[in-house]
Amino acid sequence: MKGLPILDLVIIVIYLIGMIGVGIYFSRNNKNSEQFTKASGLIPGWAIGMSIYATFLSSNTFLGVPGKAFGGNWNAFVFSLSMPLAAWVASKYFVPFYRSTGEISAYTHLEHRFGPWARTYAVVCFLLTQLARMGSVFFGIALSLQALTGYSMQMIMVIMGLCIIIYTVLGGIEAVIWTEVVQAVVKTFGAVLILYLIIANMPGGVSKIIEIGKSADKFSLGSLSPDFVSSSFWVVLLYGFFINLNNFGMDQNYIQRYHTATSAKAASKSIWLCVWLYLPASLLFFVIGSSLYAYYELNPDLIENIRHQVAIERLPVHASATEIRNMAKSLQPADYGDKIMPHFMVTKIPVGLVGLIVSAILSAAMSTISSGMNSSATVFTVDIYQRYFKPDITEKQNLSLLHISTVVFGLLGMGAGIAMIGVKSILDVWWELSGIFAAGMLGLFLLGIVSRQTKNHEALIATLIGIMIILWMTFSAHLPDEYAFLRNSLNKNMIIVVGTLSIFLIGVFLTKLKNKNLKSAD
3-state secondary structure of 422: coil
Q: What pLDDT sits at residue 1?
A: 40
Over the stretch 73-95, which tens digit does the pLDDT of each residue have? 999 999 999 999 999 998 888 88
- How many domains does the chain contain in total? 1
CATH number at residue 354: 1.20.1730.10
Highest mean pLDDT among 81-85, 245-249, 363-367: 81-85
| Cα Rg, the chain, nearest whole Å | 23
Q: Is residue 481 part of a domain?
A: no
Q: DSSP E strands: which ranges in 109-225?
A: none
340-348 vs 116-149: helix crossing angle, rounded to 10: 30
The identity of residue 89, as a single letter, is V
pLDDT in tens, 113-143: 888 999 888 888 888 888 888 888 888 778 7
pLDDT of 430 strictly over 70: no
Q: How far is CA 175 from the centre of its chain?
A: 20
Phi/psi at 309 (nearest 5 deg)? -65, -45
Q: Is 27 exposed, middle or buried (0-12, 13-18, 19+ CB in 10 A)?
A: middle
What is the identity of the amino acid at 156? I
The predicted structure's pLDDT at residue 86:
92
Mean per-residue pLDDT over the chain, rounded = 84
Residue 448 lies in a domain: no
Coil, helix or strand at residue 345: helix
Backbone angles phi, psi at 117, to 5 degrees: -60, -40
Helix (H), strand (E), coil (C) string for 255-301: HHHHHHECCHHHHHHHHHHHHHHHHHHHHHHHHHHHHHHHHHHHCHH
Question: What are 331-342's pLDDT values in tens digits?
Answer: 888 778 777 887
Q: Is residue 178 part of a domain?
A: yes
Q: Which of 61-65, 252-256, 324-328 has the lowest mean pLDDT?
A: 61-65
Q: How confident is the model at residue 185 (pLDDT cuts 50, 70, 90)?
A: confident
Q: What is the pLDDT of residues 269-280, one digit of tens each?
A: 999 999 999 999
Q: Is residue 439 part of a domain?
A: no
Residue 489 covered by a domain = no
Is a pLDDT exceeding 90 seen at residue 177?
no
Write the pLDDT tens digit of every residue in 12-54: 888 888 877 877 787 776 676 777 777 667 788 898 899 888 8
Contact 269, 460 (CB under 8 A): no
Closest CA to 82 of 246, 222, 228, 240: 240
Residue 147 lies in a domain: yes
Nearby residues of 16 by Cβ (< 8 Å), 6 or more positions away: 163, 362
In whole angstroms, what is the distance from residue 431 CA to residue 476 CA?
18
In a domain, 260, yes or no: yes
* pTM listed for this prediction: 0.83
Say which residues have a Cβ less than 8 Å from residue 369's Cβ, sequence separation at least 6. 134, 137, 138, 161, 164, 410, 413
Range of the domain at 203: 6-427
Q: Is the dihedral of CA 287, 288, 291, 293 positive or negative?
A: negative
